[in-house]
Amino acid sequence: MKRLKEFLFVATATTVFVDTPAHAYLDGGTISLFLQGLTGAVAAGLLFGRTYLAKLTSLFRRPSDAGPNDNA
């Protein structure tokens, strides 16, 4: 469910399923600051949410020795 929400959030902002052929001589190395700004905000939101969720759930269970892992 969590992954689905993440997916829908970003998918609405990017046209990810349009696999059209592209032929040109432009530099493909250009990064998109707009996309980075957007995905950076999502990543921060997810990290913030997880941190507080982890703090909340830790109140109700024994502390684990597992390292931090924020698999998305």
Partner 1 sequence: MKLDPGSFRDPAGRILRSGDRILRAIYPAGAKAYEAARDAGVLQSQVEKGRLLPFQEIPTAGFVADGPMPRYLLEHPRIEFVSYPYEWPFSALKAAALLQLDLNIDLLASGFTLCDATAYNIQFQGTRPVFIDHLSVVRYEPEQGWVGQRQFAMQYLGPLLLWAKRGIAPHAWFRGSLEGIPPEDLARLLRLRDRFSFNVLAHILGPAAVHRQSLKRELGAPPPKERALPLRNFEAMLRSLRGYIAGLRLPSAKTVWGDYAGCNSYDEARRGAKHAFIAKHVGATMPKVLFDVGCNSGDFSQTALHHGAGYVVGLDFDFGALEAAFARFDAAKAPVLPLWLDATNPSPSQGWAGTERRSLNDRANADMVLALALIHHLAIAKNVPLDMAVDWLMSLAPTGIIEFPDKNDVMVKELLRARPDIFPNYTEDAFLAHVRERGEIVDQQHLGEQGRFIVAYRRS
Please report, as ranges, the residues that interact with partner 1 according to CB under 8 A.
3-4, 6-7, 10-11, 14-16, 18-20, 22-24, 26, 28-44, 46-48, 68-72
Shortest CB 61 distance to partner 1, Å: 21
Which residue number, 28 or 63, has a Cβ lying nearer to partner 1?
28
Shortest CB 51 distance to partner 1, Å: 10
Tokens for 51, please give them.
């941190």
CA distance 24 to 22: 7
Residue 42: how many CB atoms within 10 A of its CB?
Answer: 14
Which residue number, 18 or 56, has a Cβ lying nearer to partner 1?
18
Shortest CB 40 distance to partner 1, Å: 3
**Alpha-carbon distances of 29 from 10, 17, 26, 32, 40, rounded to whole Å:** 22, 21, 9, 10, 19
